[in-house]
């Protein structure tokens, strides 16, 4: 039996912020960080289940595996993706930097990375949200 998700006010605000940023144009990379076991992944996945976002989502459970995958190679092709939201879990700062450096110029790919942080670097196309 699946437990009903009961969200705090802070968690609801994180979901709203993630959705707003994915729908907007200011940031193309959202970084969700917080202590292990708090439910970052579940909240991120709830956020991207919105009707207008869900059809565009690709979820990857581990950044390290993703960088060696055929999917990553396909996404690197200029004609491979169109309006993709790439959600990458277990994505350390080093892996995040490596992936973002390659995908940063791709205007048709939005990135949502999840890890326990800390996050020491960012650029103007990236927002870091600390999990409550």
- Quote the pLDDT of residue 2: 65
CA distances from residue 36 to 44, 70, 81, 123 in whole angstroms, order as listed? 14, 28, 31, 25
Q: Is residue 14 part of a domain?
A: yes
Q: Is residue 103 part of a domain?
A: yes
For the entire predicted model, the pTM comes to 0.91
d(CA 11, CA 40): 9
Q: Is residue 2 part of a domain?
A: no
The whole domain housing 111 covers 9-130
Q: What's the sign of the alpha-carbon dihedral 104, 125, 46, 63?
A: positive
What value does the mean pLDDT take over residues 35-55? 94
Q: Is residue 62 part of a domain?
A: yes
Quote the radius of gyration of the chain (alpha carbons, Å). Answer: 14
**Domain count across the chain:** 1
Q: Is residue 41 part of a domain?
A: yes
Residue 85 and residue 110 in contact, taking contact as beta carbons nearer than 8 Å? yes
CATH number at residue 31: 3.40.50.300
pLDDT digits (tens, 9 = 90+) for 61-106: 999 999 999 999 888 887 766 789 999 999 999 999 999 999 988 8
Asked if the model's pLDDT at residue 5 lies above 90, the reply is no
Q: Is residue 4 part of a domain?
A: no
């Amino acid at each position: 039996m699946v437990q009903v998700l009961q969200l705090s006010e802070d968690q609801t605000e994180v979901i709203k912020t993630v959705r707003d940023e994915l729908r907007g144009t200011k940031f193309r990379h959202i970084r969700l960080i917080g202590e292990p076991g708090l439910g970052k992944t579940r909240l991120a996945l709830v956020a991207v289940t919105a009707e207008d976002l869900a059809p565009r989502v690709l979820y990857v459970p581990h950044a390290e595996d993703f960088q060696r995958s055929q999917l990553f190679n396909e996404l690197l092709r200029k004609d491979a993706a169109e309006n993709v939201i790439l959600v990458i879990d277990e994505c350390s700062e080093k892996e995040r930097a490596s992936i973002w450096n390659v995908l940063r110029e791709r205007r048709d790919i939005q990135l949502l990375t999840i890890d326990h942080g800390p996050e020491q670097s960012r650029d103007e196309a990236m927002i870091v949200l600390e999990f409550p």
